[in-house]
């Protein structure tokens, strides 16, 4: 985890960044009253037509059906002029009411896509439970797929393009997991033990006992 203000490494339990002093309490004072977001889609300023809202919600439901443990929300919201994007998104993610009390730290697997229609800006943030698993390259590729649409004012299409590219990235990541973990479909613990030198069995017992 990196500080959203200075990108210095942080631990989840640290209240404030040791390098720049950023904290959620500081952000509360800086950004003021926080909006209350609704899961899946929040568009408080009414940027989307009824049909566009339906399209984004349909795409979100399809994404969550494919990845049932990853709640996804699109937040369409114009930030005050001059707002620093990274700290503001971090603050929105943690303060806008998207998560329950049980969805803390590693149990938080939410993804929030924020689109600022006035500035034609978009960015995304992952819950702590996804940060170690999903490479930043997947998020950047998803943002790159959506950015031209956001910049041309096609907000709903941008959100859908982000989800589609993210879907491709996550599917590809899943296909790589066996290689990442060195998994062999033919291998078993008993087969591994059969191949081991008996002199190593005592040490193996300690390793394989949970």
Q: Which domains does the chain have, with CATH numbers?
A: 1-32 (no CATH), 34-184 (3.10.310.50)
Q: Two tokens at 161?
A: 């393009």
Q: Which helix (H) or strand (E) holds 195?
A: helix 189-195
* Residue 187 confidence (pLDDT): 58
* Residue 20 confidence (pLDDT): 80
DSSP 3-state of 145: helix
* Residue 151 confidence (pLDDT): 94
Whether the CB-CB separation of 50 and 129 falls below 8 Å is answered with no
* Residue 81 confidence (pLDDT): 87
- Give the position of tokens 């603050």: 91
Alpha-carbon gap, residue 34 to 31, rounded angstroms: 7
Question: End-to-end distance of the chain based on CA atoms, in angstroms?
Answer: 29
Whether the CB-CB separation of 103 and 149 falls below 8 Å is answered with no
Q: Two tokens at 31?
A: 């950004």
* Digit-coded pLDDT (tens) for 140-197: 999 999 999 999 999 999 999 999 999 999 999 988 877 766 666 665 545 555 555 5
pTM of the predicted model, to two decimals? 0.80
Q: In terms of Cα–Cα distance, which of 35, 63, 62, 58 is closest to 48?
A: 58
Task: Tell how strand 111-116 and strand 121-126 pair up.
Answer: antiparallel
* Residue 69 confidence (pLDDT): 92
Q: Is the Cα torsion angle 101, 32, 13, 166 positive or negative in sign?
A: positive
Residues of the chain with pLDDT under 70: 1, 11-13, 100-106, 180-210
* Residue 95 confidence (pLDDT): 87
Q: In terms of Cα–Cα distance, which of 152, 147, 73 is closest to 109?
A: 73
């Amino acid at each position: 985890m990196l500080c959203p203000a200075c990108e210095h490494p942080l631990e989840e339990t640290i209240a404030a960044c040791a390098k720049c002093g950023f904290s959620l309490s500081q952000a509360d004072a800086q950004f003021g009253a926080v909006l209350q977001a609704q899961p899946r889609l929040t568009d408080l300023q009414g940027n989307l037509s009824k049909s566009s809202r339906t399209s984004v919600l349909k795409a979100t439901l399809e994404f969550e059906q494919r990845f049932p443990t990853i709640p996804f929300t699109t937040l369409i919201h114009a930030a005050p002029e001059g707002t620093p994007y990274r700290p503001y998104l971090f603050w929105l993610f943690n303060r806008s009411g998207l998560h329950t009390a049980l969805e803390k730290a590693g149990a938080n697997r939410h993804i929030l896509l924020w689109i600022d229609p006035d500035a034609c800006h978009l960015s995304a943030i992952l819950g702590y439970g996804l940060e170690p698993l999903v490479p930043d390259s997947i998020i950047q590729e998803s943002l790159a797929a959506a950015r031209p649409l956001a910049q041309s004012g096609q907000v709903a299409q941008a959100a859908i393009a982000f989800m589609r590219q993210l879907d491709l990235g996550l599917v590809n990541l899943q296909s790589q997991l066996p290689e990442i973990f060195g998994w062999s479909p033919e291998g078993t613990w008993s087969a591994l033990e059969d191949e081991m030198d008996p002199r190593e069995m005592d040490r193996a017992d300690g390793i394989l006992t949970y």
